[in-house]
C-alpha cells in the first residue's frame, strides 16, 4: 500500500509535469517570438537576481512543511499557517530592499540600466509565488499530489491565455513594456494556482486555534529550512554573481556588451532551457521521494530507504540518458521549432553529454535532505559554486567568450553530483 502511494504520487506529478511542460513550451515559444532575442536577453540578464530573491523569499519552507506534515499530520493546518505568516514577512522585506537598491544592481553590477524596472517587476511577484509554493509543500507532505497537479495545469492555461491576449498589445508600445508585462502576468497565474489549492484545504477548520501562527511550529520550520535553504542560497548567490563576473571580465577582455548580452541570453534562455526540459520528471521524483524517505527514516527502516533511493536513481539516470541523446541529436531542429532560432546550438553540443549526470542531482540532494544531512548538501553546493566561478573567471580572460561559462558549468555538474553520490553511499 505504501509502495503504491509513492508510485501513485510520482506518476501523478510526472503526468501533470508533462502537461505543464508542454503548456510551458507553448507559452515560451509564443512569448519568445513576440518579444524577440533582445527582449529575451533583457529578461535573462535579470533572471539570476530573481532566482536568488526567490530562494530567499521561500526560504526552503515548502520542504520544511512537506517534512513536518508527513511526520505530524494532526497539526498540519497550524504548520501551514505558521509558514504563511513567516514567508509573507520575508517577502515584503525583500520587496522593500529591491525598491531601494534596484538602480545600483542594474547599473553598477549588471551593467544594464534597463534591468532596473525588470528587477522591481520580478520582486512584486515574490509573495504570490511563495504562497503557492507553501501550499505545494503542504499537500506534498500529505502525499496528495492531485491539488499540485491540478493547480499547475490551470496556472499554465491561464498564463497562456493572458500572454496570447495581452503581450502583443504591450509589444506595440515597446520591448520593455512587453518584458515587464510578461513578468507581472505571473501574479495572475499564481493567484489562480492559490485559489485551486484553497479548494482542497479541509473545510472544517477551527479558526481560533488553527489560523494563528505558532511559535513552536515556526521554530520547527526554521530548524529544517535554514540548513536546507543555505545550500540553495549558496547556489543562487553563484548564479547571481555569474552574469556580474562574466560581464565585467569579458568587457575587460575586449568583448562588446552587445555580444555578451546576446550570447548570455542565448545560453540561458535557449541552451539551458532546452537541456533542463525533462526537469519535471526529476522534480516529480524528488518531490515524492522527500516525504517518503523522511517517513521511513523516522521508523529506522533502512531497507525501504535504500530501495526508494535505488529506484529513483535508476529512473533519473534512464531519463537523463534518453533526453540528453535526443536533445544532442536534434538540437538545431528543436531550437528552431521552439524558439525560431538556432542560437545556443553549439553550447548544447558540449553540455548535453554531461547533463546525463545533472538529472541525478535532484534525487541525490532530496535523499540527503530527507535523511537530515542538509548541511552536507550545503557544503557540496558551496564548493561547486566556488569552483564554477573560479574556473569561469580564469577562462573569461582566455578569450573564449561564453565557452568559459560552458566549461565551468560542466565542472560544477561533475563536482556536485559525484560528491552527493559519495556522501549518500557513505550514510546509507
Confidence (pLDDT) at 51: 85
Which among 22-26, 46-50, 323-327 has the top mean pLDDT?
323-327
Q: Are the C-beta atoms of 294 and 372 separated by less than 8 Å?
A: no
pTM of the model: 0.69
Q: Which residues contact 251 (CB under 8 A, 6 or more apart)?
A: 111, 257, 260
Q: How many domains does the chain have?
A: 1
For residue 1, name the pLDDT band (cuts at 50, 70, 90): very low
Nearest C-alpha neighbor of 134 from the set 197, 222, 202: 197
For residues 12-41, average pLDDT: 80
C-alpha dist (Å) from residue 126 to 53, 76, 140, 363: 8, 24, 21, 26
Output phi, psi for 33, to 5 deg: -75, -30
Q: How far apart are the first and last CA of the chain?
A: 24
Can you spell out the DSSP letters for 10-48?
A: HHHHHHHHHHHHHHHHHHHHHHHHHHHHHHHHHHHHHHH
Confidence (pLDDT) at 9: 65
Rounded to an integer, what distance in angstroms lies between the CA atom of residue 128 and that of residue 158?
Answer: 15
Other C-beta atoms within 10 Å of 39: how many? 21
Nearest C-alpha neighbor of 111 from the set 1, 260, 324: 260
C-alpha dist (Å) from residue 270 to 37, 54, 266, 339, 362: 10, 22, 5, 8, 21
Structural domain that includes position 17: 2-427
For residues 96-108, average pLDDT: 92
Read off the pLDDT of residues 235-284 as tens digits, 9 standing for 90 and up. 778 888 898 899 899 999 889 888 888 898 889 888 988 898 877 777 77
Confidence (pLDDT) at 402: 92
For residues 222-234, average pLDDT: 73
More confident residue, 234 or 166: 166
Rounded to an integer, what distance in angstroms lies between the CA atom of residue 335 and that of residue 25?
Answer: 11
Q: Are the C-beta atoms of 313 and 360 separated by less than 8 Å?
A: yes
What average pLDDT does the chain have? 84
Read off the pLDDT of residues 64-88 as tens digits, 9 standing for 90 and up. 777 777 766 556 777 778 888 888 8
For residue 214, name the pLDDT band (cuts at 50, 70, 90): low
Amino acid at each position: 500500500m505504501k509502495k503504491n502511494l509513492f508510485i501513485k504520487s510520482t506518476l501523478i506529478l510526472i503526468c501533470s509535469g508533462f502537461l505543464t511542460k508542454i503548456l510551458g513550451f507553448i507559452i515560451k515559444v509564443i512569448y519568445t517570438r513576440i518579444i524577440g532575442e533582445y527582449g529575451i536577453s533583457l529578461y535573462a540578464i535579470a533572471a539570476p537576481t530573481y532566482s536568488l530573491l526567490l530562494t530567499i523569499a521561500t526560504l526552503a519552507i515548502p520542504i520544511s512543511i512537506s517534512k513536518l506534515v508527513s511526520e505530524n499530520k494532526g497539526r498540519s493546518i497550524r504548520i501551514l499557517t505558521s509558514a504563511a505568516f513567516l514567508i509573507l514577512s520575508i517577502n515584503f522585506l525583500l520587496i522593500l530592499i529591491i525598491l531601494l537598491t534596484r538602480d545600483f544592481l542594474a547599473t553598477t553590477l549588471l551593467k544594464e540600466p534597463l534591468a532596473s524596472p525588470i528587477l522591481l517587476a520580478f520582486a512584486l511577484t515574490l509573495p504570490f509565488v511563495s504562497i503557492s509554493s507553501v501550499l505545494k509543500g503542504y499537500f506534498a507532505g500529505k502525499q496528495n499530489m492531485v491539488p499540485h497537479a491540478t493547480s499547475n495545469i490551470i496556472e499554465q492555461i491561464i498564463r497562456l491565455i493572458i500572454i496570447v491576449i495581452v503581450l502583443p498589445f504591450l509589444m506595440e508600445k515597446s520591448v520593455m513594456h512587453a518584458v515587464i508585462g510578461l513578468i507581472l502576468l505571473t501574479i495572475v497565474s499564481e493567484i489562480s494556482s492559490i485559489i485551486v489549492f484553497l479548494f482542497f484545504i479541509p473545510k472544517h477548520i477551527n479558526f481560533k486555534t488553527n489560523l494563528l501562527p505558532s511559535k513552536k511550529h515556526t521554530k520547527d520550520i526554521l530548524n529544517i529550512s535554514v540548513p536546507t535553504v543555505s545550500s540553495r542560497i549558496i547556489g543562487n548567490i553563484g548564479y547571481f554573481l555569474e552574469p556580474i563576473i562574466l560581464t565585467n571580465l569579458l568587457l575587460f577582455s575586449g568583448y562588446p556588451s552587445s555580444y555578451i548580452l546576446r550570447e548570455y541570453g542565448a545560453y540561458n534562455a535557449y541552451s539551458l532551457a532546452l537541456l533542463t526540459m525533462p526537469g519535471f520528471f526529476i522534480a516529480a521524483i524528488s518531490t515524492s521521494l522527500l516525504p517518503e524517505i523522511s517517513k521511513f527514516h523516522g521508523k529506522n527502516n533502512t531497507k525501504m530507504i535504500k530501495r526508494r533511493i535505488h529506484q529513483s536513481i535508476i529512473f533519473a539516470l534512464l531519463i537523463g540518458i534518453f533526453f540528453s541523446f535526443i536533445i544532442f541529436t536534434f538540437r538545431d531542429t528543436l531550437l528552431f521549432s521552439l524558439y525560431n532560432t538556432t542560437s545556443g546550438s553549439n553550447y548544447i553540443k558540449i553540455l548535453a553529454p554531461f547533463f546525463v549526470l545533472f538529472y541525478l542531482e535532484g534525487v541525490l540532494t532530496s535523499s540527503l535532505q530527507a535523511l537530515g544531512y542538509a548541511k552536507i548538501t550545503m557544503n557540496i553546493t558551496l564548493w561547486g559554486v566556488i569552483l564554477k566561478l573560479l574556473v569561469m573567471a580564469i577562462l573569461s580572460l582566455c578569450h573564449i567568450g561564453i565557452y568559459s561559462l560552458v566549461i565551468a558549468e560542466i565542472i560544477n555538474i561533475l563536482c556536485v553530483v559525484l560528491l552527493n553520490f559519495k556522501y549518500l553511499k557513505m550514510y546509507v
